[in-house]
Amino acid sequence: MQNIKNLTLKNNKKKIIFTAGPASLIDSNLSNIKPCFGRGDKEYLKTEIKVLNKIRKIAGGFNDIARFQGSGSLAIEIMMANYLYGKVLIIDTGYYAKRLHLISNQLKKLFGYIKGIDIINWRKINTLQKKYDWIVACPTETSCGIKIPIKTLSKVSKKCKSKLMLDATGSIGLENDHELADVISFSSCKGLFGLTGAGFICFNRKFENHIPSFYLNLQNHIDKKMTGPYQILYSLEKILEKHSDIKYSVIVNKHKFMKKMKNFLTLPKENQPNLCTHVDKIIKTKSKKVVLYSPRNDIGGSVVCHIGEAHLGRKAKGKIIDNLKI
């Protein structure tokens, strides 16, 4: 155990990350991995139930959760394929929201459940008057460092008589109110602070679409008809027990960065996500150890993410920010 702690501490000193996920390496990610199997392994199955219940709690108390091997992008596509139908509205916050628009158009052609798709800039959502079957949004848009409060999205969906779907990849574990949505998807490696490789869908309402695909059919994952992310779930067990301590490190780094860059912030406080921050200047570093985020956007400036001291938990001071300059 001590050897693993020393190893992770050593490796985190070699590389200082300001990227969107995975976070800095936490010793618990490695120390809790064990040989396991998803059928007949009573110890593992007990751990899986414990971990999934904890994730549901972090997400706000959803009724159900599905888990599978794969990225957050896969989780999004499975969620959208199984749930979206009728008239759909995408709230445009940047690259990842535009990707939701792309996927919904592909699914419309593939399966035919979606009948119409609109997209609206996030700054104009209060002007909405039309009714939709579904509103789809990315409450934390890492490409531009934008946060739309989920309470705001919930009010808009009620106004439009629609159900609410969230790509919660950048917000899960770091923001509140996910339970106001009908269904959300996310991965293991950002605000859950796990290793890459697991996707999740939390839902309160049953999906209605019948998808003619083995892997994209959500029911097959619920029924566990393929190998699951067994070792990722094992690794999350100890991480989630100290989730609030690890989250503290993100808040510390966010506050210190905003204080240092207060003259260059592009968004007001209510639109500042905990995961990342956009500034209107190019962030630089002299350290060869630093890995800066390369966001997918065309708005200029820089996006800096704040999970690089996750391994320090409540001992985090935001010292890594001293490596940054404009």
| Statement to judge: residues 23 and 133 lie in one domain | no
Residue pLDDT, tens place only, 311-320: 999 999 999 9
The per-residue pLDDT for 220 is 97
Whether the per-residue pLDDT at 241 is higher than 70: the answer is yes
| Statement to judge: residues 119 and 83 lie in one domain | yes
CA distance 286 to 173: 32
The domain total for the chain is 2
CA distance 137 to 82: 16
Residue pLDDT, tens place only, 181-240: 999 999 999 999 999 999 999 999 999 999 999 999 999 999 999 999 999 999 999 999
153 with 137: CB under 8 angstroms?
yes
Residue pLDDT, tens place only, 227-237: 999 999 999 99
CA separation, residue 303 to residues 32, 177, 252, 257, 297 (Å): 33, 24, 17, 11, 10
Residue pLDDT, tens place only, 19-54: 999 999 999 989 989 999 999 999 999 999 999 999
- Prediction pTM value: 0.97
143 with 95: CB under 8 angstroms?
yes
| Statement to judge: residues 78 and 175 lie in one domain | yes
Give the domain extent around 23.
Answer: 2-28+242-323
Last residue of a domain, one of 240, 255, 277: 240
| Statement to judge: residues 74 and 129 lie in one domain | yes
The per-residue pLDDT for 297 is 87
Residue pLDDT, tens place only, 108-148: 999 999 999 999 999 999 999 999 999 999 999 999 999 99
Torsion sign across C-alpha atoms 208, 165, 171, 279: positive
Last residue of a domain, one of 240, 272, 294: 240
At position 131, the amino acid (one-letter code) is K
Mean pLDDT of all residues belonging to the chain: 96
Whether the per-residue pLDDT at 1 is higher than 70: the answer is no
Mean pLDDT of 267-290: 97
Question: What is the DSSP code (8-state) at residue 267?
Answer: S
| Statement to judge: residues 189 and 47 lie in one domain | yes
**Which stretch of DSSP H or E encloses residue 163?**
strand 163-167
Share of the chain above pLDDT 90, in %: 93
| Statement to judge: residues 275 and 130 lie in one domain | no
| Statement to judge: residues 172 and 303 lie in one domain | no
Last residue of a domain, one of 213, 240, 267: 240
CATH number of the domain that 56 lies in?
A: 3.40.640.10
Mean pLDDT of 267-288: 97
The per-residue pLDDT for 9 is 85
The model's confidence at residue 308, banded by pLDDT at 50, 70 and 90, is very high
The per-residue pLDDT for 265 is 98
| Statement to judge: residues 171 and 281 lie in one domain | no
The long-range contacts involving 158-163, CB below 8 angstroms and separated by at least 24 positions, are 159/128, 160/89, 160/128, 160/130, 160/131, 160/132, 160/135, 161/131, 161/132, 162/89, 162/131, 162/132, 162/133, 162/134, 162/135, 163/133, 163/134, 163/135, 163/205
